[in-house]
Amino acid sequence: MAKTPLRKMKEYDLISLRSFVAVVEMGSFYNASVQMETSSASISRRVSALENALGVHLLNRTTRQLELTTAGQQFFQDIKEILESFEQAEERLSSIQETLSGVIRMAAPMTFGIRKLSPLLPAFMNKYPQIMIQLQLEDRITDLVGEGIDLSLRIGELQDSTLVSTRITELPRLYCASPEYLERYGTPQTPADLKGHRCLRYSYLTARSEWGITEGGELPDMHFPLFAGNGEVLREAAIQGVGITMLPWFIVEDAIHAGVLVPVLQPYAPPPLPLSIVRPTRRYTPLRVTTLMDWLRGTLFTTGN
């Protein structure tokens, strides 16, 4: 019985494949050359050599833009998955002898990072002294993939379905104001009583999302003298009598205990916000990252913090 001859694979190198993918993702030969730390001419030669080896045009080049051909679109999708598999295979190979060392890029909301995370991280770093953490604190939604973040702590419902998330706990929220403000403007007993009150807004939420305590589906006619993208700013303004605010408990708990803020509308408290660990979708996650994730799950809100 005659054997079926093996199909000879086209001959091209891995660097040509990476160059092609970089051109597509970065949108130009120049941007790809910057990413790969080489020249535009070198990137162009690699892509041309790849096209010659395959016997097809992958890109239509014009003076203004690059466009994938139909063959190029399919090849890009297939090769991108293969390159990702190569990277994962390399990471798995490294993990055989992997020690708990290296850099972890981590993101977290500003106030949460300062109040809850910063007191705990030193214990982790003392336990694993070969791990270096680059902590990025900001209240905007971080682009994990675009900014190379390994993991992030996020508060609230997640919108990006491409991320892998693990819910840790839920953070209660409450409405509060200073005793001086309530003495001057009165204490609201129902959501309808907020009409005419001065209310302090969190910039990254809509009014309905933040103050979703309405009766009959209508928001009271509230006055918003302050918008801020950070809870500490709203907390301080509330303490100084500027208005009523709605914040997670961890931001205002010390002020409540000190009596400089007073809870209001407690029967109408908004639902708690989930706290989650999120990371980019990957088949393989370095040991140092999974170790930190496990440590966060076992430490946050389990030690009186």
Which architecture, in CATH terms, is 14-96? Orthogonal Bundle (1.10)
Stated as kind and residue range, the H or E segment containing 295 is helix 287-299
Angle 40-54/14-26 helices, nearest 10 degrees?
A: 110
How far, CA to CA in Å, does 230 sit from each of 110, 201, 226, 235, 236?
7, 10, 11, 9, 11
Per-residue pLDDT, 282: 60
Domain 173-271, CATH: 3.40.190.10
| Domains 102-161+281-299 and 173-271 are alike in CATH topology | yes
CA dist 106 and 99 (Å) reads 19
- From first to last of the 305 residues of the chain, give the pLDDT tens digit: 445 444 444 677 888 888 888 888 888 888 888 878 888 888 989 999 888 888 898 998 876 678 889 988 898 888 888 887 777 666 666 555 556 788 999 999 999 999 999 999 999 999 999 999 999 998 887 788 778 889 999 988 877 666 788 888 899 999 999 999 999 999 999 888 888 899 998 876 655 556 655 444 556 677 888 989 889 999 999 999 999 999 999 999 999 999 999 999 999 888 888 999 998 876 667 888 989 999 998 888 754 44
Report pLDDT for 239: 97
What are the extents of the domains in the chain? 14-96, 102-161+281-299, 173-271
Strand (E) or helix (H) holding 43: helix 40-54
Q: Residue 207 has what pLDDT?
A: 59
**Fold entry, domain 102-161+281-299:** D-Maltodextrin-Binding Protein; domain 2 (3.40.190)
